[in-house]
Structure 1
Amino acid sequence: MVVGRYNRNRMLGLEDDSSQWVTGTKDMMRVAVKYFENLFTASDLGGDDRVIGLVEKRISRNMNEKLLQKFTKDDTWLAVKSMAPLKAPGSYGFCIDEAQGAFILGRQISDNTLIAYEVIHFLKMKKKGKHGNFALKLDLSKAYDRVERDFLARILSRLGFHQDCFGDTSAEGVCSVRNILKDYELVLGQKINLGKSLIYFGANVGEAIRSSIIDIMGVKRETNPEKYLSLPMMVGRKKRWAFSNFADHFRKRIAGWSFRYLSMGGKEVFIKVVLQALPIYIMQCFALLKTFCHQLEGILNKFWWANNKTSKGIHWSTWSALCLPKVYGGMGFRDLCLFNKALLAKQNDPWIRGPGNGRLLVHSMDINWTIVDQFLNDESDTWKKEVIYRLFDDKQARCILNIPLAGSGSSDMLVWWHDASGEYSVKSGYRSLLTNVIQQTVTTGHTIENYKNIFTSIWDLQIPAKMKIHLWSLFKNYVPHFLNLVQRRLHVDSSYVQDSSFYKTKGLSRVTKRNVLWRPPKSGVIKLNFDASFASNTNFFISAVLARDSVGQIMGACSYPLLDVANTFVAEARACEKALCFALDMGFRKVVLEGDSLKVIKKLNSNIVDRFVLSPISQHIQVLAGSFEEVTYLFVPREANKAAHELAMVGRNRKLPCFWVEEAPLSVIEAVESDRYEWFHRC
């Protein structure tokens, strides 16, 4: 292996400045030394005073005094500890500037591609007008090696260096661009590679003007720019043609690996870590055709089911089935169409969800309604329904009414509903899209929801990944036994018959559940269990609150209906809010609030200020909590909250506010007594 690598990396010859090929060792050394001498030797600088004079001086005396102070041990330690292990320093670091197009929070290198794409599109579509435009793509020869250190030393005494790169097709505009490039080469030592630089003209630029500009600039003319930063510059209607090279590269990437000794567990890791990451760079800029995404998914599916020795195999399932989460019977692979949408969603941040892509669909324009505050009732902190329904489309009106409000005086903010931080991320966007697919799959008659516990128990086993995948294949009936081969009309030996009763065994659905009990509070503390019964089709929910003392006796209960609730998380948060209001009315001083919504409880126990949709409600809850001596928030599974759940079911049937003191409906009393018995008679 070492000898083979030596032979592959061995240089047999070099080409000198006169395009002569030399092979001798001494001649090759001479060519190499001369090349690097020319590369690293400082060039004869011209007068750079004019360029330096354009840079404004920004560093004050106080700033210099701070910069010239000697570094202490604490300064060094603080700087090192503030750096992430694999990242450069932040805004006060050594190499990141806010003017950069990448390495800044909220910016990506692909943003440059989008800008270039829009520029080329503008030039192509502008076919009228007296003034034309052109775009100039420059290539720097050895950009990181040809840097004049003397010029950098002078420029560092100033702050900010700006270069204007826009150009029009007038003779004056072209000469201005040419002079800027010459000054750039002169003072910085860089060299423009005219052989690789290109110019692209607008559609309204005449042929005579184009030829004149090419003669002045000395660059090549580009009529159909293909790629910039490895992405196509012009896509148009031929999207399949524009990305065909990527599909070929995708196949070659798989073919270039040796999978002879790769297990199914290794395949899973390779798909998720390597193959699924390849299209991300393209998908974050362009909306790919579904057929193209399905083509890539077909390549992945073939690789997953292929036999490592023959590279062939039976495709036991579609790629869409493999993209389901593991608890739903899939492998957790990515649906490329959905992931493409999640990536592109970072370019758009609509205020409200639903029709119109976030744009407000109004029935009529009215200048009297200009700010959101005008749609609120000051006294009750609720939406003005009649005004909203009069001005907006019905679906968007319901979306607006679903936005939770709180009377805590919190500031307005834009919120992403599907993530606890309130900030959009590709992960949360993809999860939201995939959840919709899962819900549609479940409602169409599939029973995968019934097997979540079984799949969870399989993937939680402490065994090698290939064995987990084999168990998954057995349960999904993805094995070549006699019946499956016959159904697929494959040739099988009739003497081979395998009992497939394993796949019909109902006993597999039996999963032992951990017995979780309701626990009474300590003496002197009242525990309030809260729950919400939510009807998504009407956005109507019932909040239920059940108060018990340290011996499990009922101290009080209430159920309260509310309309225009966005989702179950908001419903649970509102139920917690009602629990505190009920505790205030009952005069409780030390309380424990217990619910079965982990996300709500985590939010209440966190002091982080974020843009989560529950933030206004949680802030109001914190204000209410200030009226108590002691407030604790606890999470319990649904099994330990069944009494509050039963109360919510009762309130859902009544649909009116109901209150009880030291009593409750009969079915709730039975659930409470069951909790008491199980706790005080536990083993």
Structure 2
Amino acid sequence: MCQPKDQGGLGFKDLVKFNEAMLAKQFWRLLHDQSSLFFRVFKAKYFPHGTVFEAKKSSSSYAWQSILKARSVIKVGSMWRVGDGSTIRVYWDKWLPRNFPSKISSPQKSALGDVRVASLIDQDKKQWDYAKIGHLFLPFEAAKIKSIPICITNQADCIIWPRYRDGLYSVKIGYQLLCELNTQNRASGFAYKMQFTSEESARGSDVPKLRNKVRCNEPSMPLGKILKSTASLLREFQSHTRLGVNTSTQRDIKWKPPEGVMVKTNFDRAIFVESDQAGIGVVVRNNKGQVMAALVEKIPKPASTEILEVLAARRAVQFIHELGFTLSIFEGDAKTIIKALAEGNCLIPSIGHIIKDIEFISGLLRTKSFYHVKRQGNTVAHALVLRAMLSFPVLIWMEDVPPNIYRFVSVNFPIS
């Protein structure tokens, strides 16, 4: 009865699992709502000298024993977000940005049993110690670590829920996790589903056709070629879709100059799938449309597009501060990030620490504001970010842009 309808059940909730998911919500509150009376009472009684993860079962109340039982749900589905790295144990905690949270699998050095992530960070430069990471970890894990953004300001490490876009745990997602963990194919089913959802959805429509042809002894496409065929059809569809776009609407959206002595800073980002890297582009222009400065930077590809978008915003604010400008409007085409920056929303667990960095740096400016602009009004920054794929880690131009970018400046806003 509790099986989903598409699996032959009636779709009723499994009350045992649902109750455990709700208890896990209380455990999540103990992790994040540490100013509440609920936290202060339970900490004083059950874990006065440690964290809630370190609390031990004892002859305590039934409510506390029930909450501790749900601790395993949070342990399985959560991961650490790196702040200053002082809390996270390198080899024992889950902090790598993968589709399914995981611990370090590289062989452990004998003298580094309880070492913290802070020891891998160059605290003066606020960046990873690349030499140490390359020495201690396998290449694929070293690349993952280097892609994690480091805070510019001092911030504590934080536990987030990576399966939710906002990084927060919910009863619904906890219940889904418990149901998935309860299946017979626990290891292959849950982890495989997390890592290969996009691949399965891409070829899902072709599999039934293939099965029917095999059953009827008809010629069929090899299974290994289905994904390539589907990708080809998708590209063909997208090319025809782009041809049908109303270009007159796109031409009406242009970059607008700032007023008075302010400058306008546009930023954009792109992911380079082939090299597993990402790029950031920033351009600064005055009220006459003249380019004051431009920047392109290549960085390791972050765990999500959302993190890359907010990193591009942080680099734009840093760039303005480095140039000495104090009055700036910032424009980007990532609507969700711009909204979070305009509202000063630092509560989003997955990117809140980077937004705090942006708030700190932008607070050093006399005037700043963040606005969303459509891609057609952000063409110069977009053209710059594509150049990052062929550039050194950082390139800066003062009162100029690369020759192949100037046409975007002229078309976007003709300079007299």
TM-score by length of 1: 0.39
Provide closer, same or farther for how the CA distance between residues 630 and 378 of structure 1 changes in structure 2, counting only shifts above 3 A. Answer: same
Q: How does 1:559-570 map to 2 (within 5 A)?
A: 559-563=296-300, 565-570=302-307
Matched residue, 1:526:
263
Measured after TM superposition, the shift of residue 534 of structure 1 is 2.2
Work out whether residues 417 and 612 of structure 1, in 8 Å CA contact, stay in contact via their aligned partners in 2: no
Asked if 2 retains the 8 angstrom alpha-carbon contact of 1:533 and 1:652, the reply is no
What secondary structure does 2:378 align onto? helix
- Match of 1:545, SS state, is strand
2:406 maps to which of 655, 669, 673: 669
Measure how far apart 1:581 and its partner are. 2.1
**Which letter maps to 2:78?**
D
Deviation per residue, 1:104-163 (Å, 9 max, x gap)? xxxxxxxxxxxxxxxxxxxxxxxxxxxxxxxxxxxxxxxxxxxxxxxxxxxxxxxxxxxx
Q: For 1:346-405, what per-residue CA distance to the aligned partner results, in whole angstroms no more than 9, with x for missing partners?
A: 953243354996233130253434222222221112223344344444433333332211
User: Alpha-carbon deviations, 1:322-346, whole Å to 9, x = none?
Assistant: xxxxxxxxxxxxxxxxxxxxxx899
- Alpha carbons 1:604, 1:633 under 8 Å: kept: yes
- Code of the residue aligned with 1:405 in structure 2: it is I
Once residues 6 and 366 of structure 2 are traced to their aligned partners in structure 1, the CA distance between those partners, rounded to angstroms, is: 64
SS at match of 1:414: strand
State yes or no: 1:546 paired with 2:275: no
Report what 2:231 is aligned to: 445
Go from structure 1 to structure 2 and tell me whether the alpha carbon gap of 1:408 and 1:666 turns closer, same or farther (over 3 Å shift). Answer: same
CA contact (8 A) 1:398 1:564 kept: no
Residue in structure 2 matched with residue 358 of structure 1 by the alignment: 102
Q: Which has the higher contact order (CA 8 A, sep 6+)?
A: 2
Distance 1:616 1:450, change over 3 A: farther
Kindly indicate whether residue 166 of structure 2 is the aligned counterpart of residue 421 of structure 1: yes
Q: Structure 1 residues 664, 348: CA separation in 2 closer, same or farther (over 3 Å shift)?
A: closer
Q: What letter corresponds to residue 141 of structure 2 in structure 1?
A: Q
- Compared CA separation, residues 672 and 283, structure 1 to 2 (3 A): farther
Deviation at 1:530, TM superposition (A): 0.9
Q: Deviation per CA, 1:55-84: give whole Å up to 9, x if none.
A: xxxxxxxxxxxxxxxxxxxxxxxxxxxxxx
Does the 8 Å CA contact 2:77/2:161 hold for their aligned counterparts?
Answer: no
Matching of residue 402 in structure 1 with residue 147 in structure 2: yes
Measured in 2, the distance between the counterparts of 1:439 and 1:345 equals: 31
- Which residue of 614, 619, 623 maps to 2:356? 619
Tell me the CA shift for residue 638 of structure 1: 1.5
Q: Contact between 2:345 and 2:352, CA under 8 Å: does it hold in 1?
A: no
Partner Cα distance (1:249, 1:599) in 2: 38
The partner residue of 1:349 within 78, 101, 107 is 78
Determine the C-alpha separation between the residues in 1 that align with 2:17 and 2:384: 48
Q: CA–CA distance in 1 between the matches of 2:385 and 2:278?
A: 9
Partner Cα distance (1:551, 1:645) in 2: 20
Number of the residue aligned with 1:600: 337
- CA distance 1:353–1:551, change in 2 (3 Å): closer
Residue type of the partner of 1:348?
G
Say if 1:508 and 1:667 are closer, same or farther in 2 by CA, change over 3 A. Answer: closer
Could you list the per-position Cα deviations for residues 495-514 of structure 1 after superposition, in whole angstroms to 9, with x for gaps in the alignment? xxxxxxxxxxx799624353
1:664 and 1:568 map into 2 onto residues whose CA distance is 26
Structure 2 distance, partners of 1:551, 1:401, is: 40
Corresponding residue for residue 463 of structure 1: none
Q: Which residue of structure 2 lines up, in the alignment, with residue 374 of structure 1?
A: 119
Q: Which amino acid aligns with 1:359?
A: K
* 1:388 is aligned to 2:133: yes
Distance in 1 of aligned mates of 2:384 and 2:333:
14
Structure 1 residues 279, 367: CA separation in 2 closer, same or farther (over 3 Å shift)? farther
Bigger CA radius of gyration:
1
For residues 585 and 415 of structure 1, what CA distance do their matches in structure 2 show?
A: 32
User: Equivalent residue of 2:125, what SS?
Assistant: coil
Q: 2:88 is matched with which residue?
A: none
Q: Which runs of 5+ in 1 are unaligned?
A: 1-229, 232-242, 251-277, 286-343, 454-505
The question of whether the paired residues in 1 share the 8 Å contact of 2:146 and 2:300 is answered with: no
Question: In 2 relative to 1, CA 624–671 (structure 1 residues): closer, same or farther, beyond 3 Å?
Answer: same
Q: Secondary structure at the match of 2:259?
A: coil
8 A Cα contact 2:266 2:381, kept in partner:
yes
Q: 1:355 to 1:367 in 2, by over 3 A?
A: farther
Q: 1:410 to 1:450 in 2, by over 3 A?
A: farther
Asked if structure 2 preserves the Cα contact closer than 8 Å seen for 1:419 and 1:612, the reply is no
CA offsets, 1:230-268, max 9 Å, x none? 77xxxxxxxxxxx79996654xxxxxxxxxxxxxxxxxx
Q: Distance in 2 between matches of 1:358 and 1:520?
A: 47
1:413-462 alpha-carbon deviations (Å, 9 max, x no partner): 12344644222456699999644545678764343466579xxxxxxxxx
* Shift in CA distance, 648/608, structure 1 to aligned 2, threshold 3 Å: closer
Distance 1:245 1:651 in 2: 49
Per the normalisation by structure 2, the TM-score is 0.61
Counterpart of 1:633, as a letter, is F
1:533 CA displacement: 3.0
Which of 293, 300, 305 in structure 2 is aligned with 1:556? Answer: 293
Q: Residues of 2 paired with 1:619 and 1:610: CA distance?
A: 10
The CA distance in 2 between the partners of 1:569 and 1:525, in whole Å, is: 28
The 5 A counterparts of 1:290-329 are none
Deviation at 1:603, TM superposition (A): 2.4
- The corresponding residue for 1:512 is 246
Structure 2's unaligned 5+ residue stretches are: 19-72, 80-93, 178-192, 205-226
- What whole-Å deviation, never above 9, does each CA across 1:497-540 have from its counterpart, x for those lacking one? xxxxxxxxx79962435332222222221111111232234342
Q: Percent identity?
A: 19
1:12-57 CA-to-partner distances (Å, cap 9, x unmatched) read xxxxxxxxxxxxxxxxxxxxxxxxxxxxxxxxxxxxxxxxxxxxxx
Could you tell me how far 1:673 is from its partner in structure 2?
Answer: 0.7
User: Which residue of 575, 598, 609 corresponds with 2:346?
Assistant: 609
Give how far 1:412 is off.
0.7
Deviation at 1:675, TM superposition (A): 0.8
Counterpart mapping for 1:476-491 below 5 A: none
